[in-house]
Amino acid sequence: MTEVLVLVGIALAAASGFFGLLFRRDSSAGQTLCTSIAVAGALSGLAGVAWFFATGTSRPINVPWSLVEGAAFHVGLDGLSAFFLVPIFLISLLGNVYGLGYWKQSEHPTTGRKLRLFYGLLTAGMALLVVARNSILFLFGWEIMALAAYFLVVTEEEKPAVREAGWIYLVATHAATLCLLGVFGLLRGASGSFTLVALSSGSVSPGVATAIFVLALVGFGLKAGIMPLHVWLPGAHAMAPSHVSAMMSGVLIKMGIYGLVRVTSLLPDPPVAWGGTVLALGVISGVLGVAFAVGQHDLKRLLAYHSIENIGIIVMGLGLALLGRSLGRVDWVVLGLAGSLLHIWNHALFKALLFLSAGSVIHAAGTREIDHLGGLARKMPWTALAFLAGAVAICGLPPLNGFVSELLIYLGLFRTLGFGKEPSLAGAAFAVPALALIGALAVACFVKVFGAVFLGTARSQHADHAHESPRSMLVPMAVLAGCCLAIGLAPQIAAPVLAKGISAWAPNVPSVAQQLSSLAPLNWISIMGVLLIAGLAAGGALLSMRLRRSVVEKGPTWGCGYVAPTPRMQYTSSSFAQMLVLLFGWALRPRTHRPKNLPLFPRQGDFHSEVPDPALDEGLLPAFRFSARLLSWFRVFQQGNLQAYLLYIFIALVALLLWR
């Protein structure tokens, strides 16, 4: 039943966009039909997952498939698959509804149908790879996902910047696939089949296991956007339409994490170095991700860097769990993996919320430049509230969901100190202040964005003429904000699901659910959350009561005596971030352009600053240019005519035949 519902969901999602192709370009009937089918598919998928969580039963479907020797259409659900299916179907559902207002077929006649087609395929590809129990089928889903995402990124392909971002993404995703071919090839060598089963201890040599781990870390890390493998992520997220960004940032990059979680669950006896590496990478991604975010001027690029930060937090939890498995520490496994998994859900919820509300801003004001916006809270109060909820959640602040998962990871990391007589792993404990730094930087960054975009007064004509978005865009945001609040106030609802995920990852941990409830103060989180909200309501009531009883006047903002302020005099987001950008100047390498040799009374000048991505601009691109120069002799073979390539294939085949 579970598998059937999920497969129906996958099939409907995959098919949804094709129906749109039957309609005329400017017809809105096609968009309604596509969205209805996609929503039905997502609901069917969610029903399947709910069935699995309720009954806990799964009957894998295994149909032989003569595509490649060893390939099979083998799908099944376990705690991990079901866990990752929830954000896939939920965000897809909400994104589809949001698209009705955001990317209307009547406003985008040339791209609307294409976008819906690949949106459905992206959902189907991700759901397929998560339920796949055969590595060929996994790669099949992986490539559908990767290619559909490429076509979604280049939706507005007429713009050069979009094409460039799409191209970098395409290169990165294929590099990832190359690594995965290595991973699954080596796994098949160790287990003897393409079926994804846990390897027994001793069935794989340490060298091969490490090779599998490293390839998986690079391949899946490229997709997840772990620093320094994140080069494709900021551009692709910024250039895609916002509900696509929500899907990519909320769900697609988590497929990299899924792969990493799945492969580490298959490998026996991880050495300490693995967990240590993963934890260190998490810290680097977290701190540098948020530091780069602080320096951005583009609203969606900024959110994209925050995805890297949150992937860092997720990876920190995973690293801790791996360390726990190496050293036999059940509490590290439970808290680390519970925090990591819950943060995956949470990040999907609040990052989708942030991208959707950013989309609402872009839809209304027509610009992504933070410093051209301002004062939108008056014109778009609901969007502002949604963005605020997302911002508070992503900073990990109570009473929303981000706090719960970060708390779990904190609790686990503190335990590496070794309480009482337990052995300690002192190095890991220094991830605690790093996580605190990440949290404080995130607060700085989101105060900056929220303040510059929604508060104060409009800095440009665009922002001045903004209007609230239609209901089809607001409702998905409201649902996401509601989910953030629900997990923040009642994390107990996620606990059994987390326990199932942990059991699937580390089957030898006994009674996970009890461990989790004894290690994590989930009930107290609810109590404190309710107290906080009640206190805020009481405080607000008190203040408004006092204000009603006293004289309240309106006046201009106090300008320290200056009486003719203009919106351009407001503190910009770049000035807000300047001190932090300078503090992290060693990593961010900010570039400023200012007029040189100013005369005594300067007339006109312009100044601008930017924080480019050094990993791409100074690392990868020069390396690629160098190798291109090095390998230029190879161009002799690139004739560009089909006959020559057919000849090469023929020669290669003959050579292989002779070699056999």
Residue 236, interface with another protein (CB under 8 A)? no
Rule CB under 8 A: which of 393-422 touch another protein?
A: 395-398, 403, 406-407, 410-411, 414, 417-420
CA distances from 143 to 129, 154, 213 (A): 9, 17, 21
Stretch of residues binding another protein (CB under 8 A), selected from 214-222, 323-331, 392-400, 636-644: 392-400
Residue in 189, 192, 328, 433 binding another protein, rule: CB under 8 A: 433
Of the candidates 218, 84, 240, the residue with the CA atom closest to the CA atom of residue 166: 240
Contact status: 599 vs another protein (CB under 8 A): no
Nearer to another protein, 444 or 478 (CB): 444
Which two structure tokens, joined as six digits, stand for 266?
């298959």
Please give the angle made by the CA atoms of 26, 31 and 33, to the nearest 5 degrees: 130
Residue 576 touching another protein (CB under 8 A): yes
If the CB atoms of residues 249 and 573 are measured against another protein, the closer one turns out to be 573
Q: Does the protein bind another protein through residue 293 (CB under 8 A)?
A: no
Where does this chain touch another protein (CB under 8 A) — which range of 153-161, 178-186, 378-386, 638-646?
Answer: 378-386
Shortest distance (Å) from residue 538 CB to another protein: 8
- Candidate list 189, 192, 535, 622; residue touching another protein; CB under 8 A: 535
Please tell me the distance from the alpha carbon of residue 52 to that of residue 439, in angstroms, as a whole number. Answer: 35
**Residue 658 binding another protein, by CB under 8 A:** no
Question: 271 vs 567, which CB is nearer to another protein?
Answer: 567
Question: Which of these ranges, 222-230, 464-472, 528-536, 600-608, lies near another protein under the rule CB under 8 A?
Answer: 528-536
Burial of 549 (0-12, 13-18, 19+ CB in 10 A): exposed
Site string for another protein, 471-510 (x = CB under 8 A): ----------------------------------------
Nearer to another protein, 429 or 475 (CB): 429
Is residue 540 within the footprint of another protein (CB under 8 A)?
A: yes
The H or E element that residue 494 is part of is none
Using H for helix, E for strand and C for coil, what is the string for 603-615? CCCCCEEECCCHH
Min separation Cβ 342 and another protein, Å: 14
Map residues 172-211 to x or -, x wherever contact with another protein holds by CB under 8 A: ----------------------------------------
Q: Please name the amino acid found at residue 521.
A: P
Q: Tell whether residue 260 is a contact of another protein (CB under 8 A).
A: no
- Out of 69, 158, 553, 606, the only residue in the binding site for another protein (CB under 8 A) is 553
Q: Are 359 and 243 in contact (CB under 8 A)?
A: yes
Q: Which is nearer to another protein, 550 or 597 (CB)?
A: 550
Interacting span for another protein (CB under 8 A) from 32-40, 106-114, 132-140, 429-437: 429-437
| Residue 437 is a binding residue for another protein (CB under 8 A) | yes
Encode 385-416: b = buried (16+ Cβ within 10 Å), e = exposed.
Answer: bbbbbbbbbbbbbbbbbbbbbbbbbbbbbebb
Number of residues in the chain = 660
CA distance 556 to 464: 18
Distances in Å between the Cα of 497 and the Cα atoms of 70, 189, 195, 329 are 32, 33, 25, 21
Q: How far is the CB of 317 from another protein (least distance, A)?
A: 15
Instruction: Indicate whether 520 belongs to the interface with another protein (CB under 8 A).
Output: yes
Q: Which helix (H) or strand (E) holds 592?
A: strand 591-593
Strands 608-610 and 591-593: antiparallel
Of 79, 76, 198, 62, the C-alpha closest to 128 is 76
Q: How far is the CB of 565 from another protein (least distance, A)?
A: 8
Q: Which of 429, 475, 478, 587 binds another protein (CB under 8 A)?
A: 429
DSSP state letter for 64: E
User: With binding defined as CB under 8 A, does residue 432 bind another protein?
Assistant: yes
Query: In terms of CB distance, is 377 or 473 closer to another protein?
Result: 377
547 lies in the site for another protein, by CB under 8 A: yes
Considering only residues 443 through 462, tell me which ones interact with another protein, judged by CB under 8 A. Answer: 443-444, 446-448, 450-452, 455-457
Query: Of 366, 470, 521, 590, which lies in the binding site for another protein, with binding defined by CB under 8 A?
Result: 521
- Helix (H) or strand (E) segment spanning residue 608: strand 608-610
Binds another protein (CB under 8 A): choice among 68, 197, 436, 493:
436
Burial 514-531 (b: 16+ CB within 10 A, else e): ebbeebbebeebbeebee
Which region among 13-21, 237-245, 344-352, 387-395 touches another protein (by CB under 8 A)?
387-395
- The Cα 241–Cα 162 span in angstroms is 11
551 contacts another protein (rule: CB under 8 A): yes
Q: Looking at beta carbons only, is 565 or 595 nearer to another protein?
A: 565
Report how far residue 263's alpha carbon sits from residue 253's, in angstroms, rounded to the nearest whole number.
16
DSSP-based three-state secondary structure for 627: helix
Assess 382 for contact with another protein (CB under 8 A): no
Contact, 597 vs 314, CB < 8 A?
no
Number of residues that bind another protein (CB under 8 A): 85
Q: Does 555 bind another protein (CB under 8 A)?
A: yes
Tell me how far apart the terminal alpha carbons of the chain are, to the nearest angstrom. 47
Q: Does 430 bind another protein (CB under 8 A)?
A: yes
Instruction: Figure out which of the listed residues 8, 11, 33, 532 binds another protein, where binding follows CB under 8 A.
Output: 532
**Which of left, alpha, beta for 60 (phi over 0: left; psi -120 to 50: alpha)?**
beta
Over the window 316 to 355, marking each residue x when it contacts another protein by CB under 8 A and - when it does not, the resulting string is ----------------------------------------
Separation CA 648–CA 660 (nearest Å): 18
Under 8 Å between Cβ of 234 and 304 = yes
**Of 65, 77, 72, 74, which is closest to residue 1 (Cα–Cα)?**
77
